[in-house]
Structure formats: structure tokens, C-alpha cells
Structure 1
Amino acid sequence: MALFGNLVQGALGNYSEKTPEQLQKEYGDYLFDNETITMGYQLIRDALVFTTHRIIFIDKQGATGKKTAFRSIHLDSIIDVDMETAGLGLDDSQLTVTYLANVNQRSNNEVHQTHLFEFPKKTDILPVYRYLGSISIANRERINK
């Protein structure tokens, strides 16, 4: 029954939580030097991995999933995070991360982008929200010095 639930959540675009050890086995070879996995989520074949340096979106493409795209949001570019918890119906929990898309992070030359993450109702997103919120506060202080 759990597999069916994961498939339904995956079909709806929701992630199910995985341990850092599980994700390390599958994606450890793709990490940068001195980068470690802190938490992550699986979406049927795709994954969302949080590391000490970035958030990685892993998109397995095609029928076999051999072709894989890795896209990142670097933690030092995150400047805001919003949270919406699940309601009583079929609502899911959501986190929206706002980050600077330009490498040269100067307050007079910002290029903002956002990314929406949807999580199943049963997932406790508060730790992720607090983690990303703390990062955004530190980044704002660093950028605005």
C-alpha cells in the first residue's frame, strides 16, 4: 500500500522523504568536493536533494531514465522562503524559495527567481522552512553589508 501511496503522490508532483544515506548511495557520485547530503525527497524517479552547498533537482528523463539532468539552487543565493501548510482537503504543503539568479550578488543588480516545492500533506515541512529561512537571513545580512 505504501508503494501505491508514493506513486499517487509522485503522480501529483509530490515528494516522499528519503534518508541522506539512501540518497548518498544513488547520487553521491554527483556531489562536489566537500559536499554532503543533509536531507532529501524522492518523486518516483526524480529527486530533490539538499546538500551543504545547494538544492539539487534530479530529473531522470526518457523511458529508461539513463539520461539525467542535474539543476541546482546554490544555498548562498537564497534570499527568501515562504511556506503554506496543507489544508483539510486535498491541499498539499508548499515552500516557495526566492533566490538570486545572478552570480554577482549586489543589491543594485539583483535578478530574482522563485521555485515552488510541493510536499504531501503528511510531510513535516517546518524543518525545511526553518533551515532555508535561516539561510536566507544570513544571506541577506552578507549581501547587504
Structure 2
Amino acid sequence: MSLFDGIIGNASEVDNSTIEKELEDILIPEENVDLAFKLVRDLIIFTDYRLIIADKQGITGKKVEYKSYPYKSISRFSVETMGHFDLDAEFKIWISGATEPAESLEFRKDKNINDIQKALAQAVLNQ
């Protein structure tokens, strides 16, 4: 079911140790993955210090853009849930001083958007 969820745009939780191995060149020493979600091919990763969005590009997904947002630089975020006619949910993140969102992620029929929002709230508010 989680593979199917990822294909149709739902975020599915991913094993932390698998992500730590995949990001061994990105993570700093002593940085641990707390929580990770896969959204189609992309990843949303919560570590001890930051939020990392891994945007896999191209046909093979070998090219990856890693966007790193230290929790202290995130000034606000929003979650827009699905409606009757709007069939996707949206998650937006703003960084300090920006008027436009730094990140905007779309989810379809997703129950994990609330888990992602809670994880980000906990990380940002505990700074």
C-alpha cells in the first residue's frame, strides 16, 4: 500500500536508517534523521537541526537537488487540507524575511500531511 500511496502523491513514511545511508554525504557528523517521508520520488526529511527536501529530477532520478532549511530560519508554515472540489492538500513553508513561500508541496488524498505538520511544528517551536 505504501508504494501505491507514493505513486499517487501520498506521503509515506520511510525508514530512518535507509535515509541516513542515502544522505551520508549530506548529513553533518552527529546529525540524525528523526523522521522521513517519501512523496512520489521526493523526500521530506526531519533531522536534529534542519528540514531537508530532496527533489529528485530527471527520468532516472539520479540528479537530486537538496534544499536545506535550518529550523530557526523557518518563520511560518501552512497546511491547506482537501475539500470537496479541491482534491489535493498543500503544505507551504516560509523562511525569515520572505514574502513568498520557499517551499510548496502538494499531496493528494493524504493522511500524513498532518504528521508532517506536527513534526515541523515540534521542530520549529522547540528552537
Say yes or no: TM over 0.5.
yes
1:8 aligns with 2:8: yes
Structure 2 Cα separation of the partners of residues 45 and 58 of structure 1:
9
- Report the 3-state secondary structure (helix = DSSP H, G, I; strand = E; otherwise coil) of the residue aligned with 1:28: coil
- Quote how far apart the aligned CAs of 1:17 are: 2.5
What residue is the counterpart of 1:34 in the other structure?
30
* Contact 2:6–2:41 under 8 Å retained in 1: no
What residue is the counterpart of 1:59 in the other structure?
55
1:118 aligns with 2:90: no
* Contact 2:12–2:112 under 8 Å retained in 1: no
Rg (Cα) greater in structure = 1
- Report the 3-state secondary structure (helix = DSSP H, G, I; strand = E; otherwise coil) of the residue aligned with 1:129: helix
User: Deviations along 1:77-126, whole A, 9 cap, x unmatched?
Assistant: 011122222234562232222212xxxxxxxxx34441222233232333
- Please, which of 120, 128, 133 is the counterpart of residue 121 of structure 2? 133
- Please, which of 96, 99, 103 is the counterpart of residue 95 of structure 2? 99
- Quote how far apart the aligned CAs of 1:53 are: 1.4
- Quote how far apart the aligned CAs of 1:136 are: 4.3
Structure 2 Cα separation of the partners of residues 34 and 44 of structure 1:
28
How high is the TM-score relative to the length of structure 1?
A: 0.67
- Report the 3-state secondary structure (helix = DSSP H, G, I; strand = E; otherwise coil) of the residue aligned with 2:120: helix
What residue is the counterpart of 1:81 in the other structure?
77
- Report the 3-state secondary structure (helix = DSSP H, G, I; strand = E; otherwise coil) of the residue aligned with 2:116: helix
- Quote how far apart the aligned CAs of 1:44 are: 3.5
How high is the TM-score relative to the length of structure 2?
A: 0.74
Q: Kindly indicate which of the two structures has a greater share of residues assigned to helix.
A: 1
- Quote how far apart the aligned CAs of 1:2 are: 5.5
1:22 aligns with 2:22: no
| Residue ranges of structure 1 left out of the alignment (5+ in a row) | 101-109, 140-145
* Contact 2:2–2:12 under 8 Å retained in 1: no
- Which letter does structure 2 place at the counterpart of 1:47? L
